[in-house]
């Protein structure tokens, strides 16, 4: 059926394998361009272990080289990743390009690689073998997408800060993605060597990196078959050009460039985005399914869950928070108010692990403030939060946003999904039930298939609360949750906060809507210039002269008149 086209179709397969090495890092929002270096190392090392004769009669010896190549690529990526993954964006790209150039120069001058002349090997890779490898990779990414690990990749890509606050270990996720990219690039290097029968240092140059990146971007990284689609499309362009008799050398790069530009402008997620729009939203579980089954119970009401002593935060000479003593007990609704610049957000950033204090000490749910590990440790302990400016995952659906929130209370399912184990389906069903329950709680269940950008601002705030609730938090931190809401929406939000406290969730929230604060909270803390100036019952605190002065200025009472300066 494919007589005369086997080389072409095998080339498509090899292009897809290379593109998958970019696909996995793009899934996690990283621009890594070191794949040529990983492929080169793997290809040359594989020549040392691949036999020169078929195995067991006709079995390709490359099956020995593939795991070796994957291991070499993964090990190199891990070692390179330890320093370069501290970088972001274009700086990461430059760092990984430098690594590839170092590998190329080394291979060009090493004796065992035969220098610039390269090595000749047997052509063991066939049409069937290449597409088996592609099918395996496609299956791995197909099962990755809806898993807990796949959602972590997507969350890190969209917003690392929000992902960390949902319990995702950003450093580990980025390293996992980078190492997987190295492993796949290593597989490509071995496949390339044993398909063309020769490798030289020049084979794995920057042009190879560009080809792989263009293929991955064109095909798209939001759907598992994007690399195959991109490789097929780009490989078909010169064939179509030959078929119509256009032999000018400039036509191929021109057409490729125009297609890439069109995709970036009109289909930012690649060609596969067209297919992603048809993905069905998972149905809600049966009403009698209990999403909280198996989760740890919340602490008894009145239990101390956080204690701060003399906590302070300085940014150089600016003291944002100073000497704050605070206790938080289970089941209470604690309001934190104060004028702009009072240090409210800085305080909750320290409580949620986003920032380390520069003075004092404290502990939240057993995690010491300033402890190594980052915000995800606090999230895993039971702290969840929203942000002053919404940090939603814009390219994920409403339901997928909330599913990310279940990360801290879910089990990893990817390996079990690969084996189709029933326990993986059970755990994913529990996470799905928990996500649906929170969407229903905030009134967004009928918009589960929309993107956050299609929601009103008030609904976006509610979506962020639903995502935070999906982690089954002990302490829920809301940073100005009523911002942008009208008085009706704010009243509904106050009712939701009170209902959360009735369910045993401790709520700490910052808000400028004083009426809402007085309606919702059971205790009030007022900050001014980074210091606590009042604390206690809401009605008493609201009447405190120091609080009135902080909000309205000094009072000069004369002849029964109050002048606010």
Q: 233-247, 397-411, 413-427, 428-442: which range is least confident on average?
A: 233-247
Q: How far apart are the first and last CA of the chain?
A: 87
Model confidence pLDDT, tens digit, residues 64-78: 999 999 999 999 999
The 3-state DSSP class for residue 537 equals: coil
Spatial separation of the C-alpha atoms in residues 463 and 440, rounded to whole Å: 11
Residues 6+ apart with CB under 8 A from 72: 38, 41, 42, 45, 46, 186
Q: What is the mean pLDDT of residues 350-356?
A: 93
DSSP characters over 325-345:
EEEEETT-EEEEE-STTSSHH
Q: What pLDDT does residue 485 have?
A: 82
Q: What is the mean pLDDT of residues 535-543?
A: 89
| Helix ranges, 272-374 (H) | 273-276, 344-351
Q: What pLDDT does residue 59 have?
A: 73
Select the more confidently predicted residue: 334 or 248: 334
Q: What pLDDT does residue 304 have?
A: 94
Spatial separation of the C-alpha atoms in residues 174 and 170, rounded to whole Å: 6
Q: Sort residue 518 into left (φ over 0), alpha (ψ -120 to 50) or beta.
A: alpha
The 3-state DSSP class for residue 199 equals: strand
Spatial separation of the C-alpha atoms in residues 334 and 522, rounded to whole Å: 6
Which token pair is 530?
Answer: 């980074």
Q: What is the mean pLDDT of residues 346-356?
A: 93
Cα distances from 451 to residues 254, 379, 402, in angstroms, run 34, 25, 12
Q: How many CB atoms lie within 10 A of CB 285?
A: 16
Helix axes 206-219, 35-46, angle to 10 degrees: 120
Q: What is the pTM of this model?
A: 0.90
Task: Tell me: pLDDT of 559 over 50.
Answer: no
Q: What pLDDT does residue 565 have?
A: 30
Contact 195, 14 (CB under 8 A): yes
CA-atom Rg of the chain in angstroms:
28
Spatial separation of the C-alpha atoms in residues 477 and 507, rounded to whole Å: 6
CATH 3.40.50.300 fits 304-564, yes or no: yes
Q: 11-15, 459-463, 553-557: which range is least confident on average?
A: 553-557
Q: What pLDDT does residue 292 have?
A: 61
Q: What pLDDT does residue 235 have?
A: 81
Q: 116-125, 265-274, 333-342, 460-469: which range is least confident on average?
A: 265-274
Spatial separation of the C-alpha atoms in residues 58 and 335, rounded to whole Å: 73
| Burial of 522 from C-beta contacts in 10 A (0-12 / 13-18 / 19+) | middle
Cα distances from 10 to residues 5, 100, 230, 295, in angstroms, run 8, 25, 14, 49
Model confidence pLDDT, tens digit, residues 127-147: 899 999 999 999 999 999 889
Task: Tell me: pLDDT of 168 over 60.
Answer: yes
Contact 67, 186 (CB under 8 A): no
Task: Tell me: pLDDT of 404 over 90.
Answer: yes
Q: 55-59, 238-242, 256-260, 288-292: which range is least confident on average?
A: 288-292
Q: Where are the domains of the chain?
A: 6-204, 304-564
Pick from 174-183, 231-240, 275-284 the range whose average pLDDT is largest.
174-183
Q: 43-57, 282-296, 327-341, 429-443: which range is least confident on average?
A: 282-296
Which token pair is 290?
Answer: 């209990």
Q: What pLDDT does residue 556 have?
A: 45
Cα distances from 418 to residues 71, 271, 421, 425, in angstroms, run 20, 26, 8, 11
Backbone φ, ψ for residue 287 (5° rounding): -60, -30
Mean pLDDT of the chain: 88
Q: What pLDDT does residue 248 have?
A: 58
Q: What is the mean pLDDT of residues 66-95?
A: 94
The 3-state DSSP class for residue 306 equals: strand
Task: Tell me: pLDDT of 117 over 60.
Answer: yes
Residues 6+ apart with CB under 8 A from 47: 119, 121, 193, 199
Nearest to 475 by CA among 380, 361, 558, 373: 380
Q: What pLDDT band is residue 558 in, cutting at 50, 70 and 90? A: very low
Pick from 50-59, 249-258, 468-477 the range whose average pLDDT is largest.
468-477
Tokens 């999230």 correspond to 379
DSSP characters over 46-73:
HTTTS-SS-BTTTB-THHHHHHHHHHHH
Spatial separation of the C-alpha atoms in residues 377 and 365, rounded to whole Å: 10
Q: What pLDDT does residue 562 have?
A: 36
Task: Tell me: pLDDT of 184 over 60.
Answer: yes
Q: 175-179, 233-237, 305-309: which range is least confident on average?
A: 233-237
Which token pair is 115?
Answer: 């220098």
Q: What is the mean pLDDT of residues 461-466?
A: 94
Spatial separation of the C-alpha atoms in residues 310 and 362, rounded to whole Å: 8
């Amino acid at each position: 059926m494919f007589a005369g086209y086997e080389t072409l179709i095998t080339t498509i397969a090899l292009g897809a394998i290379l593109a998958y090495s970019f696909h996995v890092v793009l899934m996690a929002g990283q621009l890594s361009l070191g794949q040529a270096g990983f492929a080169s190392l793997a290809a040359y090392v594989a020549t040392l272990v691949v036999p020169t004769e078929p195995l067991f009669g006709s079995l390709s010896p490359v099956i020995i080289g593939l795991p070796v190549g994957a291991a070499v690529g993964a090990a190199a990526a891990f070692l390179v990743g330890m320093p370069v993954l501290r970088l972001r964006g274009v700086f990461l790209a430059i760092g990984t390009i430098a690594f590839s150039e170092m590998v190329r120069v080394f291979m060009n001058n090493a004796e065992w690689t035969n220098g610039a002349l390269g090595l000749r090997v047997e052509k063991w890779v066939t049409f069937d073998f290449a597409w088996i490898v592609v099918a395996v990779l496609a299956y791995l990414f197909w099962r990755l997408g809806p898993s807990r690990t796949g959602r972590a990749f997507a969350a890190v890509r969209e917003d690392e800060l929000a992902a960390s606050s949902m319990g995702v270990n950003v450093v580990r996720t980025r390293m996992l993605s980078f190492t997987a990219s190295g492993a796949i690039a290593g597989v490509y290097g071995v496949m390339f060597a044993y398909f063309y029968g020769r490798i030289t240092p020049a084979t794995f140059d920057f042009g190879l990196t560009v080809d792989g990146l263009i293929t991955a971007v064109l095909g798209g990284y939001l759907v598992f078959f994007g690399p195959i689609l991109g490789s097929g499309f780009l490989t078909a362009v010169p064939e179509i050009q030959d078929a119509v008799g256009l032999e000018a050398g400039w036509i191929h790069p021109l057409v490729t460039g125009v297609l890439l530009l069109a995709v970036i402008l009109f289909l930012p997620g690649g060609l596969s985005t067209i297919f992603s729009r048809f993905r069905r939203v998972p149905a809600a579980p049966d009403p009698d399914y209990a999403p909280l089954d198996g989760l740890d119970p919340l602490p008894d009401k009145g239990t101390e869950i956080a204690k701060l002593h003399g906590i302070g935060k300085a940014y150089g000479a600016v003291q944002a928070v100073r000497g704050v003593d605070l206790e938080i007990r289970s089941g209470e609704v604690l309001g934190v108010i104060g004028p702009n610049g009072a240090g409210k957000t800085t305080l909750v950033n320290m409580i949620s692990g986003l920032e380390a204090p520069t003075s004092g000490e404290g502990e939240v749910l057993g995690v010491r403030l300033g402890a190594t590990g980052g915000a995800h440790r606090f999230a895993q302990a039971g702290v969840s939060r929203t942000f002053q400016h919404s940090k939603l995952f814009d390219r994920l659906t409403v339901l997928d946003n909330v599913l990310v929130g279940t990360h801290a209370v879910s089990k990893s399912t990817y390996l079990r999904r690969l084996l189709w184990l029933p326990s993986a389906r059970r755990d994913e069903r529990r996470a799905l039930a928990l996500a649906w329950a929170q969407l229903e709680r905030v009134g967004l269940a009928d918009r589960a298939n929309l993107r956050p950008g299609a929601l009103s601002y008030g609904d976006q705030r509610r979506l962020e609360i639903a995502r935070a609730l999906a982690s089954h938090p002990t302490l829920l931190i809301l940073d100005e949750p009523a911002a942008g809401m009208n008085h009706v929406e704010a009243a509904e939000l106050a009712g939701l906060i009170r209902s959360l406290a009735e369910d045993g969730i401790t709520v700490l929230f910052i808000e400028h809507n004083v009426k809402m604060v007085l309606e919702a909270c059971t205790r009030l803390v007022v900050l001014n210039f980074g210091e606590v100036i009042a604390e206690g019952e809401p009605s008493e605190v609201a009447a405190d002269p120091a609080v009135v002065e902080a909000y309205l200025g000094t009072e000069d009472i004369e002849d029964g008149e109050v002048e606010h300066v």
